Amino acid sequence: QLRAHPVEKRTHMVSHQHGMTVTKTLREGEAEPQCWSFSYGRDELQGLMPEGASLLLLRVLACQWAVPPGLVFPAIDTEGHLCTSSY
């Protein structure tokens, strides 16, 4: 039987005049939280598709029963790193 092992993960995104800063916090059990920060410039974020907008886009595409070819957007993965999202 396994004991409870609480894990708390938070991602905080702040937009500023030069781009965006993403701070990822991980806390396991009673241990001290671990933090990582990533900064991205405005040029890197051009066309960024946040998670909520991605879900809405998926619903629209599903209703239309069509996905335009080569539909790719920059996104931020669960670790806070910049990646691409393809549909």
In a domain, 2, yes or no: no
- Residue range(s) defining the domain that contains residue 77: 7-86
In a domain, 54, yes or no: yes
In a domain, 1, yes or no: no
pLDDT above 90 covers a percentage of the chain that reads: 36
Please state, in angstroms and rounded to a whole number, the distance separating the CA atoms of residues 58 and 4: 35
**pLDDT value of residue 71:** 87
Please state, in angstroms and rounded to a whole number, the distance separating the CA atoms of residues 63 and 3: 44
C-alpha dihedral, 72 to 13 to 10 to 80, nearest 10°: 40
**pLDDT value of residue 29:** 86
pLDDT band at 26 (very low <50, low <70, confident <90, very high): very high
Count of domains observed in the chain: 1
**pLDDT value of residue 40:** 92
For residue range 48-75, list pLDDT tens digits in order: 888 888 889 889 988 988 888 888 888 8
Please state, in angstroms and rounded to a whole number, the distance separating the CA atoms of residues 52 and 42: 20
In a domain, 32, yes or no: yes
Please state, in angstroms and rounded to a whole number, the distance separating the CA atoms of residues 18 and 3: 45
